[in-house]
Chain A
Amino acid sequence: MDLLTPHLLSIGPLLTLVAVALLVLLLESIITKSEPVSFWTSVAGLLVSIGIAVPGIAVHGSAFGGMLRTGGSANYFSIIFFICALLTIVFSRDYLKKRDSVFGEFYLLILFATVGMVLMAAAADLIIVFLGIELMSICLYVLAGFIRGSVLSNESSLKYFLLGAFATGFLLYGIALLYGSTGSTSITFLTEHFETYASSRLFLAGIGLLIVGLAFKIGAVPFHMWVPDVYQGAPTPVSGFMATGAKAAAFSIIIGLFAQRFVHGVQIGTLLAILAAASMILGNVVAIAQTNVKRMLAYSSIAHAGYMLTGLAAGNAYGRDGILFYLLAYAFMNLGAFGLISFMEQEGEKHLTFDDYAGLGTTKPFLAVLMSVFMFSLAGIPPFAGFFGKYYIFVGAVQADMTWLAIVGVLMSVVSVFYYLRLVMVMYFQDTLIGQTASYSASSAAFVVLAALILLGLGVFPSSLLAIITTLY
């Protein structure tokens, strides 16, 4: 056996995905009406990738001279990304048909973005982190502007690109400073010698700038400004993809940096706590004033970044496991909600306001029930999975003597109930004003139902997932 084979085998999910993406790329260039073929190839490829990634969770290792981590958390995150990509692709097809933009390239871009995410989760070196982030981001810039005829979509793409490039600059600067102060870009090295360098201001500045770059990707306050505009303008399923997949990818790096060994000092703990509190407060409070459902969910995603940062700030196993649980649950509930919105949305960004959902409980009871499930889960109401995610995170904060942060989180969750349940209230207690139409295929409907059922399942049996999560690091 040659030297390369074991390395290649250990990154099976990543390789499979790359192969599928390349296959789709090839199909796009040789078949004339390639969209259906690309669609089914992507779906099948993602399912296979999930199948390959699942057994690898139990294994822990590294590959390519310590550049990549394999198995364990890398595979757990990969599964989250694959699920996000799968749901996004399935929901997008109906949506793109409505917007006259069904092109196979869409699936291709989603697949390559997912490859970037997997690289981020597997990265054991900052260079790989950068590689992954850029691969993902560039695909997302294009995806945000995929509806070429729409001004909003173009604006979204351009804003995301400009600010994303800005953030990348700082991220790279941070990596440079870290290299300058320690002579290494290895994450393993950095976490192992964190305390040695913690007194160096150069090192701390590097860490700070790295956090800035990643905080931008997760949409944490004060680096959140792009979120509402970009999410509102981007094709709806893509917004869902950015809010779930891209956010989880950025979190995979932050967790790898700070929560693998819980080495961060007081400064970083405080900084993360401040970012968390600011995100929870701003996201939830401003979400109340929104009339557009997509914008509401954009602010809600800022708030959720805050909840998850709370778990990181806690710096203990409870908080970390809580984030890992929450990221998976969040993928299902947020993509489910964005998926339903994409079913409802009409030509020219119409039917996106709260008023358009009035009376949906009577006109489209199926969609209304599902939407209610996602809203309840987002609000963190049992028996849905959203509750347990928040619960573990807040327990982590209390255990770390950050009770104030847990209190802010709980209070802000109460505020969030206001706008999540407003949608439910509007659907069930107001009379419909417009003729509501919804277009969705059977497969989309099946996946939304599946997402809702999984949320319920995770909410009733949280310990089954938690048992896996505790073995990841």
Chain B
Amino acid sequence: MHQFVPYILLLPLIGFLVNGLFGKKIGSETAAGLIGAGVIGLAFVLAAVIVGEMAGSPAEDRKHIVTLFQWVAAGSFSVSVAYQVDQLSMLMTLVVTGVGFLIHVYSIGYMHGDPGFRRFFAYMNLFIFMMLNLVLAGNFLLMFLGWEGVGLCSFLLIGFWHDRPFDTGGYAPGTAMTTDAAKKAFIVNRIGDFGFLIAMFMIVGAFGTLNFDEVFARAPYVFEAGNATVFWITLLLFLGATGKSAQIPLFVWLPDAMAGPTPVSALIHAATMVTAGVYMIARCSILYALAPATMEIVAGVGLATALVAATIGLVQNDIKKVLAYSTVSQLGYMFLALGVGSFTGGVFHVMTHAFFKALLFLGAGSVIHAMHDEQDIQKMGGLAPVMPVTYRTFLIAALAIAGIPPLAGFFSKDEILWKAFSQGGLGYWVVGWMVAGLTAFYMFRLVSLTFGGEARWGHDKHPHESPKLMTVPLMVLAILSVVGGFIGVPESLGGSNVIERWLEPVFAPAMAKLAFVQTGHDPAEYLLMALSVLIAAGGIAGARYIYLRRASIADGIAGRFRPFYALLWNKYFIDELYDAVIVRPIAAGSDRLLWRFFDIGVIDGMVNGTAHLVRLASGSLRKLQSGNAQNYAYGFLVGIILVLGVIIFR
């Protein structure tokens, strides 16, 4: 079956072409939506069949490379369009197409009546196509195609409502449009892409190939652990990951990316694209295993990002912004897992996070829809009775992300925290544990302010439950958020940790290199588990107490810690810092030095000068072309003399 993998990619491409080229000719909106969602559904089914077949075959028979054609050839170097089917890529494919399909269905309801309905589905299909290229690629270059492609789709979809203003929450007040947010996302990502590119060049230099197979197989023989080249390769790849996966220092684009339609935030900026960096590092696990210094940087950056984003999330009032910072924070967890050598833990969290974070965003979309585009949670409240399905599913997702057992988030987060402790150190665990408490707190602050307490909206608003097209995907995702973690129940809890066994062959070389001491059952694991449940419960209880019973406490705290509150409210002034230190100097430099002096003065001067010169030459040369055949014959004769002169007398 694995040879049918290209069709998984072909389906969304067809959807993109149909809606993109003939969208206007498709009369009914439903038909366009069904095509858009249908191709993703079919792709999911195909992927599931392939995974089913893989599961039925022995573990060493689960990896295949499907080569379509040679893409680039230059001398001895060549790259093919080749897809790698293995446990990791197919797991990601299932998540991308499965969650993607639900979000597409939801979008049929959410985007109903939008003039850009068909364009929306075309972009979404293109995104899925590119994302599948990213996760299924068999070499770095094809992965880079997907990497850039999802960036492009992200750009197109953030600025989807290109004529709408956009609140940046601080810098450039009142003037920004959603296209500015799109540009910001694109440009910040380009910085990361630069790292990815340089890393690719270095890989070609070291290995002479970009094929995953060859690079990973040869890496342990080419490099000693801790070699400088592999350090730089992995660090630069990680720079790429910080761009795509919104980590310090490049995370600033993700909160602004919320300017796009909410299903986009759910699919691209929560469930799939932003996990590309995690996937990429997991894919390159052997390279990272050879670069312990980079591993520490990855873990440190992940941890710092988790903490910084979670604290910012505490005070935000825009429902989507809270979720955006929560995403950044959860991605930080995933990088922490990768950094301490728990590649499985990182990928496991990618999957569970896709379920509950997509659910949270779609639920938020349902609320925004009901509240007529209101996103400020201070102006909501009391929505639970009005929107029962949205409320219950949102609550499940919030419990899942907070890490309450036995929901999905508990198992993946616990795996990460345990590995942070046992393979990283106590410090990693303490910070990760605190972030878990913060997460529970800000999520239930969000739940309480949105759904609980008194209604704080005006009489002009008539919120109502969303249509079935939107609530059914919510319910499916809610079920997944509940049961999704069961594939990763650790042995200490009597489970068989299916996902770890499934992914084991992919990470085996890296794990062999890292050679962690297997401690077996450690009573500490139970203690840590209990502590993390405790802090999650504490966070939830605290948030409910403050925001449902004693709202005055929140204001009191904000008042007493004024400077700290201001710091969080303004997101540590990072946007302002980047603006002052990087954006403005570059803008000024490119305006005065590069544009006015260099481009207009030097380059244009040279170009225009050359063009003038060539024209003069051209004008005089054409006079030789007299039109007189005898003259031509004389010219011919001169030519013959020249030829014979060169050939005989040289």
Contact = CB atoms under 8 A, between A and B. Distances in A.
A285 interface: yes
Contacts of A286: 618, 621-622, 625
Interface string A434-473: 0000000000000000000000000001111010000000
Given A163-B633, A212-B640, A222-B642, A267 B614 contact: no
Contacts of B633: 162-163, 166
Given A289-B619, A463-B70, A166 B647 contact: no
A350 interface: no
B221 interface: no
A158 B628 CA distance: 12
Contacts of A282: 621
Contacts of B617: 285
A306 interface: no
A271 B73 contact: no
Given A170-B640, A222-B638, A286-B622, A463 B73 contact: yes
B647 A205 contact: yes
B646 A225 contact: no
A222 B639 contact: yes
A59 to B, nearest CB: 25
A205 B646 contact: no
B377 to A, nearest CB: 49
A179 interface: no
Contacts of A289: 615, 618-619, 621-622
Interface string A259-299: 00000001110110010000000100111110000000000
A225 B635 contact: yes
B192 to A, nearest CB: 25
A251 B366 CA distance: 69
Interface in A211-269: 211-212, 215-216, 222-223, 225-226, 228-229, 266-268
B562 to A, nearest CB: 58
A208 B640 CA distance: 8
Interface in A161-201: 162-163, 166-167, 170, 201
A432 to B, nearest CB: 26
Q: Which of B69, B614, B627, B647 has the most CB of A within 10 A?
A: B647
Given A162-B629, A225-B636, A229-B627, A288 B647 contact: no
B632 to A, nearest CB: 4
B142 to A, nearest CB: 14
B557 interface: no
Nearest to A227: B625
A266 B646 CA distance: 10
A345 B625 CA distance: 24
Contacts of A204: 647-648
Contacts of B631: 225
Interface in B591-630: 611, 614-615, 617-619, 621-622, 625, 627, 629
Contact of B618 (A163, A170, A288, A462): A288
Interface residues of A, number: 42
B495 to A, nearest CB: 49
Nearest to A391: B74
Given A209-B640, A270-B646, A271-B643, A226 B632 contact: yes
Given A170-B640, A222-B638, A205 B648 contact: yes
B647 A267 contact: yes
A98 interface: no
Given A285-B621, A286-B621, A208 B648 contact: yes
A167 B640 CA distance: 10
B650 interface: yes
B636 A223 contact: yes
Contacts of A166: 633, 636
A130 interface: no
B527 interface: no
A159 B632 contact: yes
Contact of B636 (A211, A222, A287): A222
Contacts of B647: 204-205, 207-208, 211, 267-268, 271
B642 A225 contact: no
B582 interface: no
A225 B625 contact: yes
A288 B646 contact: no
B517 interface: no
A267 B648 CA distance: 8
A131 interface: no
Contact of B650 (A158, A212, A229, A267): A267
Nearest to A228: B625
A169 B402 CA distance: 93
Interface in A51-100: none
B629 A163 contact: yes
B644 interface: yes
B618 A225 contact: no
A212 B73 contact: no
Contact of B629 (A159, A207, A216, A462): A159
A354 interface: no
A461 B646 contact: no
A391 B130 CA distance: 29
Contacts of A170: 640
A398 interface: no
A103 interface: no
Contacts of B614: 285, 288, 415, 418
Nearest to A268: B647
Interface in B49-77: 69-70, 73
Contacts of A223: 636, 639
Nearest to B80: A463
B644 A208 contact: yes
Contact of A222 (B625, B635, B648, B650): B635
A267 B650 CA distance: 7
A167 B618 contact: no
A383 to B, nearest CB: 11
A215 B639 CA distance: 10
A285 B629 CA distance: 22
Nearest to B613: A285
Nearest to B621: A286
A207 B650 CA distance: 14
Contacts of B643: 208, 211-212, 215, 271
Contact of B646 (A271, A287, A464): A271
Contacts of A208: 640, 643-644, 647-648
Nearest to B644: A208
Interface string A130-166: 0000000000000000000000000000110011001
Contacts of B639: 212, 215, 222-223
Contacts of B70: 461, 463-464
B632 A285 contact: no
Given A204-B647, A229-B627, A268-B647, A288 B640 contact: no
Interface of B: 69-70, 73, 78, 611, 614-615, 617-619, 621-622, 625, 627, 629, 631-633, 635-636, 638-640, 642-644, 646-648, 650
Given A215-B639, A286-B622, 14 more contacts: A158-B629, A159-B629, A207-B647, A211-B647, A216-B636, A225-B625, A225-B631, A271-B646, A282-B621, A288-B614, A289-B615, A418-B614, A463-B73, A466-B73
Interface of A: 158-159, 162-163, 166-167, 170, 201, 204-205, 207-209, 211-212, 215-216, 222-223, 225-226, 228-229, 266-268, 270-271, 274, 282, 285-289, 415, 418, 461-464, 466
A-B residue pairs, 5 tightest by C-beta? A222-B639, A225-B632, A289-B618, A208-B647, A463-B73
24 contacts: A163-B629, A163-B633, A201-B648, A205-B648, A208-B644, A215-B639, A222-B639, A223-B636, A223-B639, A225-B625, A225-B631, A225-B636, A228-B625, A229-B627, A268-B647, A270-B650, A274-B646, A282-B621, A285-B621, A288-B615, A461-B70, A462-B73, A463-B78, A466-B73
